[in-house]
Structure 1
Amino acid sequence: MKGLISCDKATIARLAERLKQANSHSQYQRIQCVLIRATLGSSAAQIAQLLGWSTATVHVIHSRWAKEGDALFDLRGRGGRHHQHLSAEQEAQILAPFIARAEAGGMLKVAEIQQAYQEKVGKAVAPSTIYRLLDRHGWRKVMPRPRHPKADVAAQAAFKKTPPRGTPRGRAPG
């Protein structure tokens, strides 16, 4: 392990600066793991005890530091679309003609988008895939208004108060 981490001042200064700019706790601890070894020369067991890690993890971090250098600290975030059929740019290309038609006053039909998507992907996909695609690109289902814009609210309220014919209160005269 002695040759894995160089103890020169430039490396220590670079690690110390990087420690100040760490974005997450895990990134901070990785930098600490290498920095402690470079500055103090502590053993893997001592570093593991300081960080609350196993000795094997410290060995892995030191080994990866020797192979990868600073790339070790650039952690990928969790989550994401690991099983995607197409990238966001490719999805946007598929949607482009449909968006142009919708902006000209036409309607989007999920079945047509699904057909184009399936041709691009080369396999069948569920309609829910297309609805999620539309949601990712900022589209939503537009519903009709709950009432007609020319409806007379006062007339409707008056009608509701009028009892129907053939009931005891609404008997026909005679």
Structure 2
Amino acid sequence: MSMKPTRELIRISDKSEDSLLRAVQIIRKTKDLSQLRQAQAFLLTCVHGMTASEASSLLGISVNWVYKLRQNFLKGNLVLGRSASALGGRRRENMTVVQESRFLHPYFQAAKHGEAIRVSDVKTALEEYLGRKVALSSVYNLLKRHKLMQISSKITK
């Protein structure tokens, strides 16, 4: 059941009606979780009469955050959530996973033929490829990420 926002629903000023319409529009169109929560915090507390505590339980955020979101919404300040690309992942990667696979291909072939893989050789080749020094832990992480440590039982320092 879709409820259309009406003046009778909130029975307050034109500015509040504009806020209500804006909140409904945000909820329908946004793909940003932070903006969705902000509009919901406004609607739940100002329109539906929930307490901040009730709204915080429903939204899964703190009571103070409900107040902050609602106040910023009423001032016309939409929160800006983090973009998906800014979260998680390998932000300090040396190369893409595909590039890593290409780089490690000769070592995969050597492991398949039962040859020993020396981590120091991989480290030297990686430093040459990147043109800078690389920590030994980065080499081990690279080998683990591509499961080369599991494939070859003959990995030496």
Partner SS, residue 63 of structure 1: coil
Given that residues 114 and 130 in structure 1 are in contact (C-alpha distance below 8 angstroms), is that contact kept between their aligned partners in structure 2? yes
Task: Give, in angstroms, the shift of residue 98 of structure 1.
Answer: 1.4
| Other-structure match for 2:96 | 87
- For residues 126 and 74 of structure 1, do their structure 2 counterparts lie closer, same or farther at Cα, with a shift above 3 Å needed? closer
Alignment partners' CA distance in 2, 1:4 and 1:116: 60
Given that residues 123 and 134 in structure 2 are in contact (C-alpha distance below 8 angstroms), is that contact kept between their aligned partners in structure 1? yes
Q: For structure 2, list consecutive stretches of 5 or more residues without a partner in the other structure.
A: 1-14, 57-62
- For residues 124 and 77 of structure 1, do their structure 2 counterparts lie closer, same or farther at Cα, with a shift above 3 Å needed? closer
| Other-structure match for 1:137 | 146
TM-score with structure 1 setting the length: 0.49
Alignment partners' CA distance in 2, 1:5 and 1:120: 57
Alignment partners' CA distance in 2, 1:73 and 1:114: 35
Task: Give, in angstroms, the shift of residue 78 of structure 1.
Answer: 5.8
Q: For structure 1, list consecutive stretches of 5 or more residues without a partner in the other structure.
A: 19-26, 144-174
Larger radius of gyration: 1
- For residues 113 and 5 of structure 1, do their structure 2 counterparts lie closer, same or farther at Cα, with a shift above 3 Å needed? farther
Partner SS, residue 46 of structure 2: coil
| Other-structure match for 1:153 | none
| Other-structure match for 1:31 | 36
Query: Taking CA–CA contacts closer than 8 Å with sequence separation of 6 or more, which of the two structures ends up with the larger relative contact order?
Result: 2
- For residues 131 and 48 of structure 1, do their structure 2 counterparts lie closer, same or farther at Cα, with a shift above 3 Å needed? same
- Cα RMSD (Å): 4.3
